[in-house]
Amino acid sequence: MTDMQKIAADVRALMTTDKSGHGFDHVERVCRLAQKLAMVEKADEQTVTLAALLHDCDDYKLVGEEAAAKMTNARRIMAANGVAEERQQEVLEIIASMGYSKCMRGIRPRTLAGKIVSDADMLDAMGACGIVRCLQFALDRCNKFGAPVFDAATLPDPDMSVEEYKKPNRKNDNFINHFFEKLLKLHHLLLTPAAREEGEKRHRLMVAFLRGFFAEQELDDWLAYLENFLREEDARAAGNAADGRQSA
């Protein structure tokens, strides 16, 4: 076994029990996507692979806020497998700079390798795999709290604060609302050109799914809500891009 295979085995051992869309299958898909992006962008494959393998093993939802901030599992696994100190620091910096809730706080990856792993992680929350993971998460919540998968009377809250977003049992949280609260915003948060291209495909697939879901049930107010949301998100992203150009 190579060192990378040993690290993968250690991560797998940590993540096999998860049923909320955070299992090792997610890590494997993120690794593959990140390696593809690294080839296109000519980034360091070792750093990208390591960060992709280790990016969720200290997630706050799995280990709590304190252990997440310390990145205990990532440090332990890298040290146990002889990863050079400099590379360890690079990987820890990447992990500390990615994730949607950190992005809500304005924390974004700085290095090319970090941008690639963040993009791969976000891409796996989108498209067909993203829909399945979101449903897995919602069903897990349903088992724990009896929360519904969809409630036509409960509108999403796309502008909520990061503190609200991180509450484990928010009142309007459900499978469908999560698209408006996170998944439909991700395509504007991708940082590398190849990921943006793939992200647009995955975004369109999620939009088609939601249009079908609402149309089949003749939920005209939800159809209108979706179209309005998409228009506003695009206008907001165009505004942000223009602001970026002005301040550059």
| Contact positions vs ligand ADP (CB under 6 A) | 21-22, 56, 59, 99-100, 121, 124-125, 130, 133-134, 137-138, 173, 175, 178, 182-183
Nearer to ligand ADP, 137 or 214 (CB): 137
Nearer to ligand ADP, 145 or 242 (CB): 145
181 binds Ni ion (CB under 5 A): no
Q: HSE on the CB side for 206, CA within 13 Å? A: 33
Binding mask 27-56 for Ni ion (x = CB under 5 A): -----------------------------x
178 binds, among ligand ADP, Ni ion, none (CB under 5 to 8 A by kind): ligand ADP
Q: Shortest distance, CB of residue 156 to Ni ion, whole angstroms?
A: 22
Nearest to 26 by CA among 173, 98, 130: 130
Nearest to 71 by CA among 40, 45, 92, 86: 92
CA distances from 204 to 123, 127, 128, 228, 234 (A): 13, 8, 10, 15, 13
Q: Shortest distance, CB of residue 230 to ligand ADP, whole angstroms?
A: 18
51 within 8 A of 117, measured Cβ to Cβ: yes
Rounded to the nearest 5 percent, the helix, strand and coil shares of the chain are 70, 0, 30
18 binds Ni ion (CB under 5 A): no
Q: Shortest distance, CB of residue 68 to Ni ion, whole angstroms?
A: 13
Q: Shortest distance, CB of residue 127 to Ni ion, whole angstroms?
A: 14
Q: Shortest distance, CB of residue 191 to Ni ion, whole angstroms?
A: 16
Distance in Å from the first CA to the final CA of the chain: 47
Q: How many CB atoms lie within 10 A of CB 215?
A: 12
121 binds Ni ion (CB under 5 A): yes
Nearer to Ni ion, 121 or 198 (CB): 121
What dihedral angle (degrees, nearest 10) is formed by the CA atoms of 129, 130, 134, 139?
0
Nearer to ligand ADP, 155 or 235 (CB): 155
Residues that bind Ni ion (CB under 5 A): 56, 121
